[in-house]
Amino acid sequence: MSPYLVILTIAGYFGLLFLISWLANRGHSQSEAFTGRVPWYISAIAAMGAPISGVTFISVPGMVAGKGWSYMQMVLGFVVGYFIIAYVLIPLFYKKNLVSIYGYLDDRFGISSHKTGAWFFFISKILGAAVRFYVVCIVLQSLVFAPLGIPFVVNVAVSILLIGLYTLQGGVRTVVWTDTLKSLCLVLSVVLSIVFIAKGLGLDFGAFVSKVATEGNPKMFFFDDPKSGLYFWKQFIAGIFMVVAMTGLDQDLMQRSLACKNQGDAKKSLITTSFTQLVVIFLFLVLGSILTIYWTGHLGQAMPEKSDDLFGLVATHNTIPVFVGILFIVGLVAAAYSAAGSALTALTTSFTLDILQADKKQDENKLTKTRKTVHLCMAVAMGVVIVIFEALNSQDAISAVYSIASYTYGPLLGMFAFGMMCKTQVRDKFVPIVCIAAPIICWFLRAWLLGSFGYTMGFELLLVNAAITMLGLFLLRKPQEAK
């Protein structure tokens, strides 16, 4: 595929992004950059695609050959998790009229806990966003930058600059409307890719279904080995709490729900999202099956060393119509750039309001300058992390994302759970120590269980991490005052 065709495709998509960013924010104040107000159905469409990054677009289809459709076990847990967010967290956040959700920790425990939560979100999001965006940078390197003799660092710098520019002015309204565009482009690109690849195999609908069922490795449920990381109950339960932590306690993803006009609309948006995500992930898994069939069966090729490379290899192969390659680029760019832009906006909001607390100290003009400065700093930090990850990465990207999340979101889940389940006050100044200690203990525990018993602690590590955090907070409780 010509690198110049890829560049034109990306340029066209970015033209749309800049237009939407401008239209979404005409006549709106700076304070609305942190909040925004949109109809619930727009929020639902945006939220449907929001968790789907370049990692999902690349890694989920690629993992089918080795892990079947096991990812759907976790996605079923996501549905339950979305209901918990809608009926437990949303009423809490709207009742307290929060712009940044970590303001709850200040109200519940104190400023030290508030800043600890914000810092853990900052670390979680910048690492997770960097891993997600790393995937698109690798693909663009192979398709565009390497053929033109341009090094990976320049690739990252250009990509981050584009994201920083289109999100710099917009804030949350830009995020929601560009995520809506992303969701529509994403679904369209996946569906059309399936259709064209199936056509390349000469399959009608009935033959296509039969081929996927017999040769596409569509095994979904794994009940046979509790020690395995693919065991159903591990995946399902982890999916529940993973979505509560990574969506309900994540400023990036919750800013869409908080942009709704009221909590009723926010609930409708989340419940709609939970079911539409089932459909979207199902499409990704079907795509993974047909990609595997085409690559290994039709072309007789061995699976690539990194499963994340599979979609790109098939989409840009000379036996596939060029239009499929364009669809691949549109879907990848829509997923990756929108997710990275959303993460930058959320990082800017949390750092400005939670850590710097600039909204309490500055007028609107100074707050505008502070927000833009923080935004650019976040972009630079993300670029640095991407370059570092490129040098260290050795696993499929989606596993890397969830592994990072298990360590960094665990303390956040533990803090919020303890705050809502117990009325006890804690010694606020010692909370950071507990939150740092919990992931470290988990790392040693995971290694010990694997070495001593052969037990693979998968995504349930998140729950153990949260439980250790809650135990630490319980030990920090203040004595009850005598009445």
Token pair 């990072």 is found at 404
% of residues, the chain, pLDDT over 70: 84
Is the Cβ–Cβ distance between 386 and 402 less than 8 Å? no
How far apart are the C-alpha atoms of 371 and 377, rounded to whole Å? Answer: 10
422: helix, strand or coil: coil
Domain boundaries, the chain: 3-409
C-alpha to C-alpha distances, 18 to 15, 341, 372, 375, nearest whole angstrom: 5, 12, 17, 17
CA neighbours closer than 13 Å in the CB half-sphere of residue 331? 26
38: helix, strand or coil: strand
How would residue 311 be classed by pLDDT, with cut points 50, 70 and 90? confident
In the prediction, which pLDDT does 388 show? 81
Per-residue pLDDT reduced to its tens digit, 142-172: 888 888 888 888 988 888 887 777 666 555 5
In the prediction, which pLDDT does 476 show? 93
In the prediction, which pLDDT does 162 show? 77
**Of 192 and 183, more confident:** 192
User: How far does CA 14 lie from the centroid of its chain?
Assistant: 21
Q: Is the pLDDT of residue 29 over 60?
A: no
Average pLDDT of the segment spanning 200-215:
91
How far apart are the C-alpha atoms of 320 and 386, rounded to whole Å? Answer: 31
**Three-class SS of 222-281:** CCCCCCCCCCHHHHHHHHHHHHHHHHHCCHHHHHHHHCECCHHHHHHHHHHHHHHHHHHH
Is the Cβ–Cβ distance between 386 and 155 less than 8 Å? no
Q: H helices within 293-430, ranges in order? A: 310-315, 322-350, 364-392, 397-408, 410-421
How would residue 399 be classed by pLDDT, with cut points 50, 70 and 90? low
Per-residue pLDDT reduced to its tens digit, 63-119: 888 889 999 999 999 999 999 999 998 888 888 877 678 888 988 999 999 989 888
Superfamily of domain 3-409: Sodium/glucose cotransporter (1.20.1730.10)
Q: Which residues pair with 114 in a beta bridge?
A: none
In the prediction, which pLDDT does 239 show? 87
Amino acid letter, 81: G
How would residue 35 be classed by pLDDT, with cut points 50, 70 and 90? very low
In the prediction, which pLDDT does 480 show? 66
How far apart are the C-alpha atoms of 375 and 356, rounded to whole Å? Answer: 13
- Residue among 259, 247, 251 at smallest CA distance from 31: 259
Q: Is the pLDDT of residue 394 over 70?
A: no
How would residue 482 be classed by pLDDT, with cut points 50, 70 and 90? very low
Q: Is the pLDDT of residue 468 over 80?
A: yes
How would residue 429 be classed by pLDDT, with cut points 50, 70 and 90? very high
In the prediction, which pLDDT does 33 show? 42
Q: Is the pLDDT of residue 30 over 50?
A: no
How would residue 483 be classed by pLDDT, with cut points 50, 70 and 90? very low
Least confident of 54-58, 83-87, 352-356: 54-58
In the prediction, which pLDDT does 286 show? 94
The 10 Å CB-count burial string (b at 16+, else e) for 205-240 is eeebeebbeeebbbeebbeeeeeebbbbebbbbbbb
| The length of the chain, given as a count of residues | 483
Average pLDDT of the segment spanning 197-208:
90
In the prediction, which pLDDT does 445 show? 92
- Token pair, residue 183, equals 């969701």
Least confident of 137-141, 201-205, 467-471: 137-141
Is the Cβ–Cβ distance between 350 and 31 less than 8 Å? no
Contact partners, residue 458, CB within 8 Å, separation at least 6? 229, 234, 235, 238
Q: Is the pLDDT of residue 428 over 70?
A: yes
In the prediction, which pLDDT does 472 show? 95
Amino acid letter, 465: N
Least confident of 11-15, 21-25, 307-311: 21-25
Q: Rounded mean pLDDT of the chain? A: 81
**Of 183 and 263, more confident:** 263
CA quadruple 150, 151, 156, 157: dihedral sign: negative
In the prediction, which pLDDT does 113 show? 93
Token pair 């830009």 is found at 174
Q: Is the pLDDT of residue 400 over 70?
A: no
Q: Is the pLDDT of residue 477 over 60?
A: yes
How would residue 189 be classed by pLDDT, with cut points 50, 70 and 90? confident
Average pLDDT of the segment spanning 402-423:
87
426: helix, strand or coil: strand
In the prediction, which pLDDT does 208 show? 92
Greatest mean pLDDT among 143-147, 205-209, 244-248, 331-335: 205-209
Token pair 């009850």 is found at 480
214: helix, strand or coil: helix
